[in-house]
């Protein structure tokens, strides 16, 4: 089963949900707004995917941070982890945990390729 992380009311998330459902792929959704995100998960993403992929500096949430908050986020891994666990909207969406790694951001081709990986389908 896939694990999909994000915020329910996000256009990228809606496109991902629609495609996953169209393909009949089973997934569990982890909503940052309701469940938050733990530091261990964020650290795993940073270690395996990289900060440049995980951190969304193009959105309004990043621009709303003070210069000091932005500097703290970029100064160290722990600073970035603390920032991402506090400001969930800074995490690119969706993050899809697959048997072979992660898909970050809406990527239709990568999601369609999951069907070929024999990801479990919805019963």
68/26 Cα distance (integer angstroms): 41
Out of 1, 3, 5, 10, pick the active-site residue.
Answer: 10
Over its C-alpha atoms, the chain yields an Rg (Å, rounded) of 15
Q: Can 10 be counted among the known catalytic residues?
A: yes
Q: Which residues are catalytic?
A: 10
């Amino acid at each position: 089963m896939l694990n999909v992380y994000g915020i329910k009311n996000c256009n990228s998330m809606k496109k991902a949900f629609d495609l996953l459902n169209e393909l009949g792929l089973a997934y569990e959704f982890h909503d940052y707004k309701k469940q938050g995100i733990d530091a261990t998960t964020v650290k795993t993403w940073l270690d395996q995917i990289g900060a440049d992929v995980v951190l969304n500096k193009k959105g309004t949430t990043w621009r709303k941070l003070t210069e000091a908050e932005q500097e703290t986020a970029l100064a160290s891994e722990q600073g970035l982890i603390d920032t991402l666990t506090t400001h969930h909207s800074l995490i690119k969406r969706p993050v899809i945990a697959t048997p072979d790694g992660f898909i970050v951001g809406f990527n239709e081709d990568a999601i369609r390729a999951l069907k070929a990986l024999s990801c479990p389908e919805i019963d």
